[in-house]
Structure 1
């Protein structure tokens, strides 16, 4: 999906990936992240966000919750990490990363609530009164006030499978009355997901019905004399969408793929962020008219199309790739012609590293043609070497 864009806009990343694999510095099934380019992308995004008064949490799951990058983003002034689930939150705590928003797509299990509240997240999203009670209990025990964000939904909203949950608008007043009775929690924010999506036909980022639901919820709470401080409008957040967030009254965004230049917007446009991540594999064997390279890093929404196969960017050949079927473990990727065994395979596609079994190589000095591995991590953000 992003291979040709990466060859065009960040060829030194391709060169570095070939070099690191050919020299044995990294193994197959490794994502190579261009540390310097990610930070350049982040600076660009934050400058645009600051222009419109938008505060940004950063999503770390796409890059394997990597602590080197997450710490750099905190130092840059981002508001803290979006912990997409409780395991995300716990690894950020373990790595000393500031927590921003916890609990949006995955609620916090009962026995982890106290630990996460004790880490002082800016806000915790809730889908139920029961979860609010658990957070309130932990906050009382710890003698702290904990901000909460309500995920709101309506009948016409679009929710992804396996992500259902939230408070219906028609129930919101009753819900808020119950929440007001709970000690040590503050109704702080509103959110939904996705509030924006990229329209591939119109080739622009557009608001969804979910966003309308958030704004209606804000009006309901205003009529109840509740001042919402955070209107968090995630999905497709990148430099291009900062003005859009502001135009709808949003206060916060949650970029993830924007840091690596791998949102759907970046597949069609050369604006702003440059590609900063590739996947490295190696040809294992040939069989009949196909060849096979090592897998482990496949993501089913990747839109993977092609691979660059060879020993360097100059002799590399673009070859069609057959994505693994959803019924199978991705032991191999299928390359649609015979190739040389042990050659390097470079791919660039939309991914979520945290759901893979890949390694993550953080490399600096790429733009100067002097790639240096500064850390090798697993897909969960734990250091290998």
Structure 2
């Protein structure tokens, strides 16, 4: 999906990845993140959000909750994190990242509420009164007040499978009143996901009904006398969509894929954010009609169409068509279609570029700085953000605590 634009707008990333892979400095089945370009993108996004009066929280799941990358983004101007599940919050908090938003998409588990409170996030999202009541108890024990946002869910809104839940619009005011009356918490706004989606036919981003539902819920709650100004609008966050969201009354955005230059818009037009992440592997074996590369990190919703195969550093690559397996398949191998696949050298480097969700993949992540000058591998990590040693095993040993 992004191989052509990456080759054109950030060819140094591909060159560096091929060289590092063929030298054995990064493993196969590995996402390679261009740290400097991510930091540059983050500065662009931070300024764009600010120009629209929006507060931005960085979304890290797309690049595997990586703490080195997250810190670079924080240093560039997006200094707080949205943790879509509590595993992400726990890891990044351990690395000193500040929490902006927890509990959305995944609610905080009951026995983690105390730790969540101690992280002092700007907001915790709840899907109803019961979750707010539990947070209230944790906050009373700490003598502090936690701001909450309420997830709204209305028939006709768009939700992905496995991500449903929230309060119906008709019940929003009543639930908000009950939450705001609880000690130790304060009702501060509403959220939903996704509020903007890519329209393949139109070739543009457009609002879902969720955005109008948020507006209606926010206006009703505030009209009832509750001071709840926050409208958090995750999904499709990038410089190009901030105007749409701000015009609809948004206060908060959660950029993720744009930090690596990989929203659907970035695949079809040049945007301020540059491509900054690719997936690298190697040819494992061939048959008469296909070549196969070691996989584990391929994403079934990636829409990848082509990959580049490099026999050696500096060589002109062979372009192969990507055949994506069904979502129910385990991606032990990636299938590549091309004429005479047996001409490919076993061990040749394969480069993909697609929109990823690294945190749900079985792969490595290499963070590289100095691309375009003197590349430095800042570390090899798991897909969920834990640093690995030179043996690609957890730092601290098999029986020790995995270092953050």
TM-score under structure 1 normalisation?
A: 0.97
Q: Of the candidates 331, 334, 346, which is equivalent to residue 341 of structure 1?
A: 346
Tell me which residue corresponds to 1:88: 88
**Aligned equivalents of 1:75 and 1:228: distance in 2?**
29
State how 1:120-135 maps to structure 2 within 5 Å. Answer: 120-135=120-135
Residue 79 (structure 1) shift = 4.6
**Aligned equivalents of 1:233 and 1:308: distance in 2?**
36
Query: Mean Cα displacement is larger for which, 281-290 or 119-128?
Result: 281-290
Tell me which residue corresponds to 1:325: 326
Tell me how large the CA RMSD over aligned residues is.
Answer: 1.2
Indicate the SS of the match to 2:43: helix
Contact 1:231 / 1:249 at 8 angstroms: preserved in 2? yes
Tell me which residue corresponds to 1:102: 102
Tell me which residue corresponds to 2:113: 113
Point out where structure 1 has 5 or more consecutive residues left out of the alignment.
none
Point out where structure 2 has 5 or more consecutive residues left out of the alignment.
390-404
Tell me which residue corresponds to 2:382: 378
**Aligned equivalents of 1:312 and 1:231: distance in 2?**
49
**Aligned equivalents of 2:182 and 2:218: distance in 1?**
20
Query: Mean Cα displacement is larger for which, 229-238 or 157-166?
Result: 229-238
Contact 1:324 / 1:332 at 8 angstroms: preserved in 2? no
Residue 45 (structure 1) shift = 1.0
Residue 201 (structure 1) shift = 2.2
Residues 215, 313 of structure 1: CA spacing in aligned structure 2 closer, same or farther, 3 A cutoff?
Answer: farther
Contact 1:14 / 1:313 at 8 angstroms: preserved in 2? no
What do the CA deviations read for 1:177-199 (whole angstroms, capped 9, x no partner)? Answer: 32133111011121111111122
**Aligned equivalents of 1:172 and 1:132: distance in 2?**
14
State how 1:19-168 maps to structure 2 within 5 Å. Answer: 19-168=19-168
Aligned residues: 384
Contact 1:105 / 1:163 at 8 angstroms: preserved in 2? yes
What do the CA deviations read for 1:249-277 (whole angstroms, capped 9, x no partner)? Answer: 11110000000011011111112111100
State how 1:228-307 maps to structure 2 within 5 Å. Answer: 228-307=228-307
State how 1:160-239 maps to structure 2 within 5 Å. Answer: 160-239=160-239
Tell me which residue corresponds to 1:350: 355
